[in-house]
A and B are shown apart, each in its own frame.
Chain A
Amino acid sequence: MRRLAPWVLALAAGAAGAQSGTPAQGPAAGGLPVYTLDPTHTFVSFEIRPAGLSTARGRFDRKQGRVAFDRAARRGEVEIEVATASVSTGVPAFDALLRGESLLASERHPTARFVGERFDFEGDRVSAVAGTLTLRGRTQPLTLRATRFACYANPLFQREVCGGDFEAPLRHRDFGIAAPAGVPEEVRLVVQVEAIRQ
């Protein structure tokens, strides 16, 4: 484990820098313990099968957010914001198309934001987070379902880390995005998140 330390700590230091603009220091409103998103293990991705053949995957590379979470009290609040222009599919021409006016409209709507205010539990695991997604200037309800959730003592940070995998179907029409011909109505949102207790 010691071999892991130098580079992971360097990443964590970078993460702290990236988060310095967020207000998630000290206790959150409502007195819930505060967690800082680990940007190296927090990603918003999506999957879509545009022509019925293969699945295209994309990811938003710039993100920030904050989490307040009390496992014992079964309460939590989360806010994750991504820069829509940071979309990355591995194909620059697709990225440019996605940023365009008819799809993400990144110039007019540089960020997309999920605010989750209701945490559902099964036992002591988070099973879903319900809230709203604001995309392309429109706000709609969205529930992220957990396919995996755990908390563990991270030996490098010497802190508790909680996180999981979440997903939700998203109808782009709900956000004013007109799907081109042949593109399915729904995108699958896939969210990986880990957060470090402060």
Chain B
Amino acid sequence: MTPAKRSAVRRLLAAAALCTGAGAGAAPASYVLDPERSFVHFEVVHFGTSTIRGRFGPAQGSVLLDPGARRAEADVRVATASVDTGVRPFDARLRRDDLLASEAHPEAFFVARQARFDGERLAELRGEFTMRGVSQPLTLRALHFACRADAAGEVCGGDFEAELLRSSIGATFGLPFIADRVRLLVQVEGRRR
């Protein structure tokens, strides 16, 4: 290895150390969700045959991370009228009273005050999900989660998933032809304040 290469490797290692250090710092840090990289997608199976997908967003909110203390809190919300499946008549149908009821319940939100960590990596957020005015416990499992340093500071983010039965919140239209089980895919990135 040439001295120039060695120095480049050293710089990279230093950056990597800074990067993990930032996410695993001793002090709790708070992050604001990036509206260009924070969306909630849903998947529901149609006639047992194919998967209907749609997205809500951008998601708004903030996250508090304290990996040293294995503590995390999250507040995330989306406008229910922002639903977008790629088919406008579907979107309009989804906003009606027997599904999202967007007029009566313009926001869906997730409030987590408990978390599980694998080592210092965030593995689960446990909290309460409210949609259509009905609140219920929900656990978001992290498929992956990481933090990295960039020129503007630090960004943390990942993908989370959860499942719910839409009948449990009274969104019953189309059952059982359109499945009760809904898979939520939550894509979030937050910038450190």
Residues of chain A touching chain B, judged by Cβ–Cβ distance below 8 Å, are 1, 3-4, 7, 10-11, 14, 39-41, 43, 45, 49, 51-57, 59, 61, 88, 90-91, 93-94, 148-152, 154, 161-165, 192-194
- Would you call B51 and A1 a contact (CB within 8 A)? no
Which of A56, A91, A192 contacts B51 (CB under 8 A)? A192
B12 near A: Cβ within 8 Å?
no
B53 near A: Cβ within 8 Å?
yes
Which of B39, B58, B156 contacts A53 (CB under 8 A)? B156
B159 near A: Cβ within 8 Å?
yes
- How far apart are the CA atoms of A1 and B84 in the complex, in Å? 24
B interface, over-half SS: strand
Which of B41, B93, B159 contacts A7 (CB under 8 A)? B93
Which of A41, A49, A90 contacts B50 (CB under 8 A)? A41
A-B contact pairs, 15 of them (CB 8 A): A4-B174, A11-B87, A43-B86, A45-B53, A57-B55, A90-B39, A90-B57, A148-B51, A149-B49, A150-B48, A150-B49, A161-B47, A162-B49, A163-B49, A192-B50
Residue of chain A at shortest CB distance from B45? A148
User: Chain A's nearest CB lies how many Å from the CB of B161?
Assistant: 11
- Would you call A56 and B37 a contact (CB within 8 A)? yes
- Of A53, A149, A152, most B-chain CB atoms within 10 Å: A53
B46 near A: Cβ within 8 Å?
yes
Binary A-proximity of B182-193 (CB < 8 A = 1, otherwise 0): 000101110000
Residue of chain B at shortest CB distance from A3? B173
- Would you call A53 and B36 a contact (CB within 8 A)? no
- How far apart are the CA atoms of A57 and B41 in the complex, in Å? 9
Binary A-proximity of B86-112 (CB < 8 A = 1, otherwise 0): 110110010000000000000000000
- Given the known A-B contacts A152-B48, A192-B53, are A59 and B86 also in contact in the complex, defined by CB atoms under 8 Å? yes
- Would you call B90 and A57 a contact (CB within 8 A)? no
User: Chain A's nearest CB lies how many Å from the CB of B69?
Assistant: 22
